[in-house]
Structure 1
Amino acid sequence: MNTEVVGTSGVRIALRVEGAQNSRPLVFVHGWAQSSRAWAAQFADPALTERFRLVAMDLRGHGASDVPAAGYDDPRQWADDLAAVLDFAGPGAIVVGWSYGGLVLTDYLRVHGSARLGGIVLVGAITEIGRGRAGGKTGAVMRAALPAALSDDSGVAVPALVEFTRSMATGPVPGTYEQALLGASLAVPPAVRAALFKGDVESAGVLQAVDKPALVLSGTADAVVDPSAADYAAGKIPGAVQRWFVEAGHLPFVEDAGEFNSALRQFAGETGQ
């Protein structure tokens, strides 16, 4: 099912929803220049959809959501967008933040705290942004894509985004899925792609204040977000459980979907209401 909610400043936030309405919600937040379709392997798993209510959002400026001219460097706007999604999903949600989605989740915690959450999952995620921020350290693949991937010249941006997409994973992923990732990136306006890199946000205190169960997942060979960003988050969040997907890259939920989904089910079960 596709639906939408209204985020901050009246921005429409598109949602993809699967599972029974009275089931415990799992809310998925995608990464930079992507969309809710990134979670296809989770939405296709009956072991998840028959037990939980899956809600995946398109961030503002991405997918089928509205594309406002500004606000991409404002933590409160991200926080309030996610708050609107959580209002729809229901209490006790476990929020899964991948890549830039980890920063959106951290912004939510910064503004609204953790009272409404059942737990958090960070997947190849950043939790900070800005030069020298340990929680936002990027890898060689991300650095190689910039600044070309931000250009409004298709002759410059398209090759960079093709190479970036191909290099997300360390092993093969379905060709249709890889092309969907590329299509999602190209659908995000260049100005939005660039705007997400603006800002300087430190999150040590936010992470240290987390009082809900937390799971930090990362591929050991992630070259988009440096694995040290996962170490940073896991080291700051009290009681966080850290798990590595050996030799996986930036897409462990696709590269090893069965193991990823099993880890998610186990974590959600252990943090059951």
Structure 2
Amino acid sequence: MNAEVVGSGGVGIGLRVAGEANARPIVFVHGWAQNALVWSHQLADPMLANRFRLVAMDLRGHGNSDVPVEGFIDPEVWAGDLCSVLEFAGTPAMVVGWSYGGLVIADYLRVYGGESLAGIVLVGAITEIGRGREGGRIGPAMRAALPDALSEDLDVALPALLGLNKGMSANGVPGPLSQALLGASLSVSPKVRAALFSREVDNADLLAGVDVPTLVVHGTADGVVDPRSGEYAAGKIPGAQLRWLQGVGHLPFIEAAEEFNSTLLRFAEDRLAPAP
């Protein structure tokens, strides 16, 4: 089911929803230049959909969400968008952030705190951004794609995005899905792609104060976000659990969907109280 909420500044935020309306909520936040379709293996999993309300958002400027002129570098804007989605899903909620989605969750925590969250799952995620930020280390596939992937010239951007697409998985993904991921990247405006990389965020203080149960999941073969970024977040957040997926790249919820889903299920069952 598709839905929409109003985020910061009146921007429409597109949603994909599965599960019963009164079930315990899990909210999914995708990464840079992608959309909610990356969570298809989770939204379609009966193990998850029969137990939880699954809500996958499209970040502003991505997928079915509106594309505003500005607001892509302001943490309060990202936090407000996620707040609107959480209000729709119901709280307390489990929130799952992949790649850039981890930074959006950090924005939310800085502005609103963790009172509405039952748990956090960081998946191949960054929690900081900018040169020298330990929580924002990128891997060889992303380094090779930049800065060309931000170009408005298709002849420059396309090869970079194609290389990044191939580098996201350590073991390959089916052709139709790989093309859908590439199409999602191309559908995001170059201005939006560039704006998301223009931020400078240090979250060492924030991470050290997180009081929400947190699980960090990272593929050991992630070529987009350096596994050291996941290790950094797990080391900073008090009590965080770290789950390595051996030989898995930047798409653990696709490459190792069964293992990922069972891990998410166990973590959520332990922390989301049954609905009345």
TM-score (norm 1): 0.99
Q: Which amino acid aligns with 1:102?
A: G
| 1:221-232 pair list within 5 angstroms | 221-232=221-232
CA-CA distance at 1:19 after TM superposition:
0.3
Q: Which residue of 2 aligns with 1:57?
A: 57
- The Cα offsets for residues 203-242 of structure 1, whole Å up to 9 and x where unpaired, read as 1111111111100000001010000000110001110000
Q: Which residue of 2 aligns with 1:110?
A: 110
Where does structure 1 lack aligned partners over 5 or more consecutive residues? none
Q: Which amino acid aligns with 1:255?
A: E
Is 1:248 the counterpart of 2:259 in the alignment?
no
Q: Which amino acid aligns with 1:110?
A: R
| 1:20-99 pair list within 5 angstroms | 20-99=20-99
Alignment size in residue pairs? 273
- The Cα offsets for residues 18-54 of structure 1, whole Å up to 9 and x where unpaired, read as 0001111110000000000010111111111111110
Q: Partner of 2:67: helix, strand, or coil?
A: coil
Contact 2:94–2:272 (CA<8 Å) still a contact in 1? Answer: no
Q: Partner of 1:270: helix, strand, or coil?
A: helix
Q: Which residue of 2 aligns with 1:269?
A: 269
| 1:167-186 pair list within 5 angstroms | 167-186=167-186
Query: How many Å separate the matches in 1 of 2:242 and 2:178?
Result: 27
Q: Which amino acid aligns with 1:152?
A: E
Query: How many Å separate the matches in 1 of 2:92 and 2:15?
Result: 18
Q: Which amino acid aligns with 1:253?
A: F
Q: Which residue of 1 aligns with 2:160?
A: 160
Q: Partner of 1:242: helix, strand, or coil?
A: strand
CA-CA distance at 1:272 after TM superposition:
2.6
Q: Partner of 2:173: helix, strand, or coil?
A: coil
Q: Which residue of 1 aligns with 2:133?
A: 133
Q: Which residue of 2 aligns with 1:120?
A: 120
Q: Which residue of 2 aligns with 1:236?
A: 236
Contact 2:93–2:272 (CA<8 Å) still a contact in 1? Answer: no
Q: CA RMSD in A?
A: 0.7
Query: How many Å separate the matches in 1 of 2:251 and 2:20?
Result: 27
- The Cα offsets for residues 104-139 of structure 1, whole Å up to 9 and x where unpaired, read as 000000100000011000000000011100000101
Query: How many Å separate the matches in 1 of 2:127 and 2:248?
Result: 20
CA-CA distance at 1:199 after TM superposition:
1.6
Query: How many Å separate the matches in 2 of 1:194 and 1:210?
Result: 29
Query: How many Å separate the matches in 2 of 1:17 and 1:83?
Result: 16
Q: Which amino acid aligns with 1:178?
A: S
Is 1:6 the counterpart of 2:6 in the alignment?
yes
CA-CA distance at 1:177 after TM superposition:
1.2
Contact 2:129–2:199 (CA<8 Å) still a contact in 1? Answer: yes
Aligned-residue sequence identity (percent) comes to 63
Query: How many Å separate the matches in 2 of 1:170 and 1:254?
Result: 11
Query: How many Å separate the matches in 2 of 1:83 and 1:208?
Result: 22
CA-CA distance at 1:172 after TM superposition:
2.1
Where does structure 2 lack aligned partners over 5 or more consecutive residues? none
